[in-house]
Amino acid sequence: MSMSINQHFTPVKLIRFAAPSIIMMIFMSLYTIVDGIFISRFIGSNALSSLNIVFPVINIAIAISTMLATGGNAIISKYLGEGRRREASECLTMFVVVTVSASIVIMVLTFAFLTPISRLLGATDILLEDCRSYLATAIAFAPACMLQALFQSYLVTAGLPALGLCLTVIAGILNAVLDYIFIVVLGLGIGGAAAATGIGQCVPAAAGLIYFTFIGKTIHFTRFHLRIKELLAACYNGSSEMVTQLSNAVVTFLFNMVMMRLAGENGVAAITILLYGQYLFNAFYLGFTIGISPVVGFQFGAKRKNELKNIYRVSFIFVMCSSLLLTLAAIRLSTPIVSVFTHDAGTFALASSGFRIFAFNFLFSGFNIASSGFFTALSNGRVSAVISFARTLVFTVLSLLILPQIIGINGAWTAIPAAEFLTLILSAGMHLKYFIRNNKYNYFE
């Protein structure tokens, strides 16, 4: 068993252990963000709107892989904590096979209904061709996209967070270089941006397959039989993270509809920029959660309650302090951030004014993301799903449907901060029940 997750974690050690996953998630979020920068600057705001319109389909693929990555990771790390390496390796193999199978199904269905899907998601006559081009190319790389998300978590559990980081950095740099070549040099348009992302995703996907096939010691690919119980448990445990991604698809669709009504194509481009900012800032906490999850799962499986309590305390002090700093940075840097994406006057005016309001959601989102992820690592999929479902769907949808009707476009900018604040109240209640009050539900008693 790798000693990297079987030790006492001081605050510095825990943050250092999670740092590769944080950086890795930031680089992963940069895949889409870099595409957006090149598309907006070298193709135009309409192309940027097209990317955002069809991105819910990509969210579905990411949702399934994220569910099996986080939910499966909780099972694998728990088995490792119990000293059951063979079962951990069998589950690893099964989750990878299921993920590849799901990616093929998604790819085939999307190709078969490319135009109807684009129209359903809101593509106008002006945007339809770009929507088709981006979606067709991006979905061709669905297996690589989904495997990347899986190996991002499993390499951490294998005790190799630095390898996952290196692979993601290489993939991100390759993506940026190919964006320039495909879009600026070769003029391949929005399809070139999708190809650049897909080729970048192939790097960690291929490396993960090679590692777990030929090199992995603690966990590795092996013969397996279908473990329905573990598969269902992984889906259940990871349901909150899946809900987050599926909700992103729904919320992106609703945002597109609201902004198209309020401000046309420029409004869709503006909200795309704000959502890019959200991807980047939230990636910090998603990475932190991924980084600490194997540690939490291992200590939970080993029944070391004092160490589990220590990890909890360090984690949430870090999250609350960093949330304040990141929120202040986002508000202060709102104009420079927006200027990176667009030089279109109409889009810039909408996005720069909206980002200063939108940025307040970062004050609450870190705590909510970490709370959901902590419960997932404890194999408490029910509580994790409740937090995630309320945060990313219920409260956000209600805010999007109500606030723009009352205060117009400012209601769209306020919707996410309002949803995150409401979720914060819910998350705090779960912390009281499971971590703070002395009762039979407390994980530390």
| Phi, psi angle pair for 94, to nearest 5° | -60, -45
Gap between the Cα atoms of 247 and 391, Å rounded: 9
Q: In this structure, what DSSP letter does residue 333 have? A: T
H-state helical runs in 181-304: 189-210, 228-237, 239-301
- The radius of gyration of the chain from alpha carbons, rounded to an integer in Å, stands at 21
- Percent of the chain surpassing pLDDT 90: 32
5 pLDDT tier (thresholds 50, 70, 90): low
404 pLDDT tier (thresholds 50, 70, 90): very high
Instruction: Say which amino acid occupies 314.
Output: V
Q: What pLDDT is stored for residue 3 in this prediction?
A: 42
Question: 173-187, 246-260, 385-399, 416-430: which has the minimum mean pLDDT?
Answer: 246-260
Gap between the Cα atoms of 161 and 175, Å rounded: 21
Counts of helices then strands in the chain (DSSP H, E): 17, 0
Q: In this structure, what DSSP letter does residue 126 have? A: T
Q: What pLDDT is stored for residue 6 in this prediction?
A: 65
Gap between the Cα atoms of 326 and 322, Å rounded: 6
Question: 145-154, 296-305, 384-393, 395-404: which has the minimum mean pLDDT?
Answer: 296-305
As a whole number, mean pLDDT of residues 131-145 equals 95
Residue that is written with structure tokens 């900012």 in the block:
277
78 pLDDT tier (thresholds 50, 70, 90): confident
- Average pLDDT value for the chain: 86
| pTM of the full structure | 0.72
Q: Is the dihedral of CA 381, 382, 388, 394 positive or negative?
A: positive
Task: Check pLDDT > 80 for residue 10.
Answer: no
Q: What is the pLDDT of residues 257-306, one digit of tens each?
A: 888 888 887 888 888 888 888 878 888 888 888 888 888 878 787 788 88
Q: What three-state secondary structure class fits 438?
A: coil
Query: Which of the two residues, 252 and 2, has the higher pLDDT score?
Result: 252
Structure tokens that stand for 171 in this block: 């993939």
4 pLDDT tier (thresholds 50, 70, 90): low
- Tell me the helix, strand and coil percentages in the chain, rounded to 5: 85, 0, 15
Q: What pLDDT is stored for residue 377 in this prediction?
A: 84
Gap between the Cα atoms of 9 and 359, Å rounded: 32
Residue that is written with structure tokens 């999250």 in the block:
319
Number of Cβ within a 10 Å radius of residue 354: 24
Q: What is the pLDDT of residues 105-122, one digit of tens each?
A: 999 999 999 999 999 888
Q: In this structure, what DSSP letter does residue 361 have? A: G
Query: Which of the two residues, 18 and 31, has the higher pLDDT score?
Result: 18
DSSP per residue over 165-177, as a string? HHHHHHHHHHHHH
Gap between the Cα atoms of 38 and 427, Å rounded: 38
Instruction: Say which amino acid occupies 49.
Output: S
Which of 391, 394, 372 lies closest to 383 in space, CA to CA?
372
CB environment 287-319: b (16+ within 10 A), e (fewer): bbbbbbbbbbbbbbbbebeebbbbbbebbbebb
Task: Check pLDDT > 50 for residue 1.
Answer: no
Q: What pLDDT is stored for residue 2 in this prediction?
A: 43
Q: CA torsion 70→441→17→277, rounded to 10°?
A: 60
Residues in the chain: 445
Q: What is the pLDDT of residues 350-382, one digit of tens each?
A: 888 888 899 999 999 999 999 998 888 887 878
Q: CA torsion 245→251→256→257, rounded to 10°?
A: 140
Q: What is the pLDDT of residues 162-212, one digit of tens each?
A: 787 788 888 888 988 999 999 999 999 999 999 999 999 999 999 999 999
